[in-house]
A = this chain, B = another copy of it.
Amino acid sequence: MRIAAILREARQYLSAAEIHARLERESAEVSLSTVYRTLEFLRAQGAVSQRTDEAGETTYLSCDGDHHHHAICRGCGRVEDVDCEAIDQFTEDLDQHNGFLLESHSMEFFGRCRACR
């Protein structure tokens, strides 16, 4: 599917509107509705993850299912994977100190990638 391919190649979070625009650019025209439906489908499949940006717009990123964290470049928007082995330690600490049972977490890092710094 073209939408999945666009996301895979982009390596950054894209909004539905942005994806729609890119489809038009490669003259594979589909309606915005279809873009939303496809994204929802891909999300349900676990092929795509989503986040809402500061403006409240939902954006989508191709993902392979396993959990890792993202470093998002403020320059080009490119997303790199980061792994965080320290999380296990956190889980432990949170439990001990706060009595908080950690079930999931999300982390995002913002800065500038090698090319944009």
- Can you list 10 contacts pairing A with B, beta carbon distance less than 8 Å? A82-B94, A90-B109, A94-B111, A98-B113, A102-B109, A102-B111, A104-B110, A105-B108, A105-B110, A107-B108
Residues of B within 8 A of A101 (CB): 111-113, 117
Q: How many copies does the complex hold?
A: 2
Residues of B within 8 A of A82 (CB): 94, 98
Could you say which of B58, B73, B103, B117 contacts A111, with CB atoms under 8 Å apart? B103
Whether B114 lies near A98 (C-beta < 8 A) is yes
Interface secondary structure of A, over-half rule = strand
A84 within 8 A of B: yes
Whether B90 lies near A114 (C-beta < 8 A) is no
